[in-house]
């Protein structure tokens, strides 16, 4: 069965510093992988997704993630953190069952704090 592990429930960075949020997955089939962001009092919003095209995926707000099959990883990065990046980030893997709909398996989330 598919699963996702996010290392670090809390990450704190300085404004302007590199952001690195870690995600490792387990999947019995070639995975589809997603990163979502949740701002306070809001639902989840897609940042980016990997669907077996280019292994380096660029998303919104300057984020990108690289799919590494050998490491079963899909870490999220941003070169320079901004105060507005403070939020909770969720990695997810698709567990599509042939019915077509997208059953997502989410990690526990990483809360990113950005300090001046």
Partner 1 sequence: ETGVTQTPRHLVMGMTNKKSLKCEQHLGHNAMYWYKQSAKKPLELMFVYSLEERVENNSVPSRFSPECPNSSHLFLHLHTLQPEDSALYLCASSQVAGGTDTQYFGPGTRLTVL
How far apart CA 56 and CA 9 sit, in angstroms, is 24
Residue choice 15, 86, 96, 111 for contact with partner 1 (CB under 8 A): 96
Q: How many helices (H) and strands (E) does the chain have?
A: 0, 11
- Which of these segments, 12-20, 28-36, 65-73, 78-86, binds partner 1 (CB under 8 A)? 28-36
Question: In terms of Cα–Cα distance, which of 76, 95, 94 is closest to 37?
Answer: 76
- Which of these segments, 18-26, 37-45, 67-75, 77-85, binds partner 1 (CB under 8 A)? 37-45
- Least Cβ distance, residue 96 to partner 1 (angstroms): 3
Asked if residue 73 lies in contact with residue 24, where contact means CB atoms within 8 angstroms, the answer is: yes
- Least Cβ distance, residue 35 to partner 1 (angstroms): 11
Residue choice 69, 103, 113, 115 for contact with partner 1 (CB under 8 A): 103
Residue choice 28, 56, 101, 116 for contact with partner 1 (CB under 8 A): 101
DSSP 11: E
- Least Cβ distance, residue 104 to partner 1 (angstroms): 7
CA geometry: angle 83, 39, 42, nearest 5 deg: 155
* Residue in this structure with the two tokens 């962001």, named with its chain if needed: 37
Residue choice 44, 76, 81, 114 for contact with partner 1 (CB under 8 A): 44
């Amino acid at each position: 069965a598919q699963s996702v592990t996010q290392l670090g429930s809390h990450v704190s960075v300085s404004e302007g510093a590199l952001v690195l949020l870690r995600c490792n997955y387990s999947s019995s089939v070639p995975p589809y992988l997603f990163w979502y962001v949740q701002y306070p009092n809001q639902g989840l919003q897609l940042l980016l997704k990997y669907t077996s095209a280019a292994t380096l995926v660029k998303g919104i707000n300057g984020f990108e993630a690289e799919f590494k099959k050998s490491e079963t990883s899909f870490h999220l990065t941003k070169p320079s953190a901004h105060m507005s990046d403070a939020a909770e980030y969720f990695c997810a893997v698709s567990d599509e069952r042939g019915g077509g709909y997208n059953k997502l398996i989410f990690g526990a989330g990483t809360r990113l704090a950005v300090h001046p």
